[in-house]
């Protein structure tokens, strides 16, 4: 036999053995628990389900995927239906939001709403032409309300900035003879964030630096506008070679600088446009090329100094309504020694209730909402609106429901960090605890519904799991997670967590395996529901 052929056979055999060894190593963790108290029919159906799930997760196509799975009926008669590496820790990605939203229900309650208010220590006195003026500062305070954006107007009744302007006009006030002051002290920034922007905005120190430019990693802040981001829209110019047109949404005057280094390219050429922000500034840099026949390119960019961003947007709204601001835009300082309960309230707005807050966090997988909630939970827990206080509250909550410390490590509220660790067993224990809680309806309704809405809208488009699966997705590079509930045709709830790491195949292939696993469980429940 030629030496090259022999070498090929040996290499192929080693590769096959390595893949098989990997699969066998995982299979040692595959657990089948079939109670002898079940009927013979139920025992048979459960064994068949287990065999199908083994076939799915140990397929050669997934030989490089590290799976963590726990599927458990919430009917004590059945208990755990399937387990694979359930006690091992995984990077949860956005499954981390399950912890944050469950803790929010625990510490804040179902009736909770964020609140934003405008107050003053000044006096309202007559001015020229029969108008009135406010002699004093206008102070805006909030506890992290994330709803101050145009897209939430329908749920809040109106954009707070214009509601405040209308409240002032109702008193005939056309001049604020003082400063606009941001009282953002309900949240405390980390040392890391204070070094970047004097604490006007708080980042997790464990996020990747190249995520920090983008809206998905917008800083948390007690006073927030437009989810602390701006959308940059790039349109081709009217001729090749020219700089493209740039539009900011919303366009807050005098807050951003735009450095447009891009060009308009030939039709049908590759789009190479990139939009970033110079670190520590609000200078947006656009580079690359956009084809002249392009319909445009959009990128959501995080802002620096969000409290001042809110004030800049407020000043613009006031001026559009004919109200002039004579003073500066500034954050509250130690020199501002007024007491909140001595101030006159001029306007106030509450956010929608907890179900809406949790739904935006879970269904839409909104990182910003999760980080705002984390700090608000921290304030409820120990009167400190910091990420560290929120994380301590989550740790205490997990301990209280019996999750062992070795099964979790939490560093943020949204799951963007790769340093988070969580086991399928920990997630299922959390799901079981919330199933037994009075707030269960609020919790499960905040999750994406398979084939219907949120991040599951385009998954489970057919089959028995559609419309009956309520779950949280998670994705960062090399990680895909799915955890939640299935309501089976046998009218029993099933909690599950399916976590995948280290894969190199497409995300779609992992999603298809996760979806198929839940569909198999739904089919099992449907078969059980049929008369023997």
Chain segment 189-227, per-residue pLDDT in tens: 998 888 877 889 998 888 998 899 999 999 999 999 999
| Residue 361, in any domain of the structure | yes
Integer Cα distance of 113 and 376 in angstroms:
11
- What is the CB neighbour count within 10 angstroms for residue 12? 10
Same domain, 314 and 393: no
| Residue 49, in any domain of the structure | yes
Of the listed ranges 116-120, 193-197, 343-347, 491-495, the least confidently predicted one is: 193-197
Q: Which of 310, 329, 352 is the last residue of a domain?
A: 352
Same domain, 387 and 334: no
Same domain, 344 and 407: no
Residue identified by tokens 């559009």 is 320
pLDDT mean over 348-362:
97
| Residue 479, in any domain of the structure | no
pLDDT mean over 472-485:
97
pLDDT mean over 283-307:
97
pLDDT mean over 317-333:
96
What pTM was estimated for this model as a whole? 0.93
Which parts of 39-121 are beta strand (E)?
66-73, 80-84, 115-120
| Residue 4, in any domain of the structure | no
Domain tally, the chain: 3
pLDDT mean over 312-321:
97
Task: Please check the confidence at residue 10 and state whether its pLDDT lies above 70.
Answer: no
Same domain, 276 and 347: yes
Task: Please check the confidence at residue 69 and state whether its pLDDT lies above 50.
Answer: yes
Same domain, 178 and 293: yes
Rg of the chain, C-alpha, whole Å: 27
**pLDDT recorded at residue 32:** 63
Residue with more model confidence, 338 or 405: 405
**pLDDT recorded at residue 158:** 85
Domain that holds residue 104: 89-112+353-425+436-446
Same domain, 127 and 93: no
Q: Which of 352, 378, 398 is the last residue of a domain?
A: 352
The CATH code of the domain that includes 162 is 3.50.80.20
493-501/66-73 β-pairing: antiparallel
Integer Cα distance of 374 and 391 in angstroms:
7
**pLDDT recorded at residue 442:** 98
pLDDT digits (tens, 9 = 90+) for 136-170: 999 999 999 999 999 999 888 789 999 999 999 99
| Residue 176, in any domain of the structure | yes
Task: Please check the confidence at residue 478 and state whether its pLDDT lies above 90.
Answer: yes
**pLDDT recorded at residue 120:** 96
Same domain, 172 and 237: yes
Same domain, 312 and 357: no
Same domain, 341 and 253: yes
Same domain, 276 and 397: no
Q: Is 184 helix (H, G, I), strand (E, B) or coil?
A: coil
Q: Does an H or E element contain 496, and which? A: strand 493-501
**pLDDT recorded at residue 20:** 46
Which parts of 65-137 are beta strand (E)?
66-73, 80-84, 115-120, 123-126, 132-135
**pLDDT recorded at residue 11:** 38
Same domain, 406 and 488: no
Residues composing the chain: 532
| Residue 472, in any domain of the structure | no
b/e burial code for range 439-454 (CB count within 10 A of at least 16 → b): bbebbbebbbbbbbeb
| Residue 8, in any domain of the structure | no
- Phi then psi dihedrals of residue 122, to 5 deg: -85, 180
Same domain, 181 and 67: no
**pLDDT recorded at residue 13:** 40
| Cβ neighbours for 250, distance < 8 A, ≥ 6 positions apart | 150, 226, 230, 313
| Residue 6, in any domain of the structure | no
């Amino acid at each position: 036999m030629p030496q090259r052929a022999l070498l090929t056979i040996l290499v192929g055999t080693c590769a096959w053995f390595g893949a098989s060894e990997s699969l066998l190593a995982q299979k040692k963790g595959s657990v089948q628990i079939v109670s002898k108290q079940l009927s013979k029919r139920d025992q048979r159906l459960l064994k068949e389900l287990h065999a199908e799930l083994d076939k799915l997760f140990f397929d050669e196509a997934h030989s490089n995927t590290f799976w963590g799975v726990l599927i458990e009926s919430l009917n004590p008669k059945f208990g755990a239906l399937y387990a694979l590496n359930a006690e091992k820790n995984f990077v949860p990605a956005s499954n981390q939001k399950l912890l944050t939203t469950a803790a929010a229900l625990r510490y804040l309650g179902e009736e909770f709403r964020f609140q934003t208010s405008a107050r003053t220590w000044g006096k309202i006195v007559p001015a020229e032409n029969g108008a009135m003026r406010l002699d004093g500062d206008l102070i805006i305070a909030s506890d992290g309300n994330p709803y101050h954006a145009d897209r939430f107007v329908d749920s809040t009744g109106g954009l707070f900035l214009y509601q405040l302007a209308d409240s002032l006009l109702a008193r005939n006030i056309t001049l604020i003879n003082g400063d606009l002051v941001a009282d953002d002290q309900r949240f405390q920034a980390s040392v890391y964030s204070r070094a970047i922007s004097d604490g006007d905005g708080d980042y997790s120190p464990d996020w990747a630096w190249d995520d920090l430019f983008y809206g998905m990693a917008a800083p948390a802040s007690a006073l927030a506008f437009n989810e602390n981001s701006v959308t940059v829209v790039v349109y081709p110019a009217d001729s090749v070679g020219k700089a493209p047109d740039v539009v900011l949404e919303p366009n807050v005057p005098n807050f951003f600088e735009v450095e447009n280094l891009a060009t308009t390219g030939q039709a049908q050429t590759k789009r190479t446009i990139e939009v970033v922000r110079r670190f520590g500034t609000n200078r947006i840099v656009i580079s690359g090329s956009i084809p002249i026949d392009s319909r445009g390119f959009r990128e959501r960019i995080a802002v620096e100094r969000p409290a001042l961003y809110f004030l800049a947007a407020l000043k613009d709204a006031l001026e559009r309504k004919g109200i002039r601001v004579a003073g500066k835009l500034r954050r509250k300082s130690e020199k501002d020694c007024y007491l909140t309960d001595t101030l006159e309230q001029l306007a106030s707005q509450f956010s929608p209730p907890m179900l809406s807050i949790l739904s935006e966090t879970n269904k839409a997988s909104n990182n910003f909402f999760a980080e705002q909630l984390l700090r608000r939970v921290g304030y409820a827990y120990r009167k400190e609106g910091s990420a560290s206080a929120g994380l301590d509250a989550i740790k205490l909550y997990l301990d209280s429901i019996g999750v062992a410390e070795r099964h979790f490590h939490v560093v943020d509220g949204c799951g963007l960090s790769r340093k988070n660790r969580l086991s399928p067993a920990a997630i299922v224990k959390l799901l079981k605890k919330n199933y037994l809680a009075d707030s269960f309806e609020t919790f499960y309704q905040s999750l994406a519904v398979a084939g219907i809405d949120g991040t599951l809208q385009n998954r489970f488009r057919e089959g028995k799991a559609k419309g009956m699966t309520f779950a949280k997705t998670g994705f960062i590079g090399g990680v895909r997670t799915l955890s939640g509930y299935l309501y089976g045709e046998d009218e029993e709830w099933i909690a599950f967590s399916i976590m995948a790491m280290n894969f190199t195949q497409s995300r779609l292939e992992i999603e298809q395996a996760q979806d198929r696993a839940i569909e198999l469980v739904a089919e099992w429940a449907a078969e059980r529901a049929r008369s023997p």
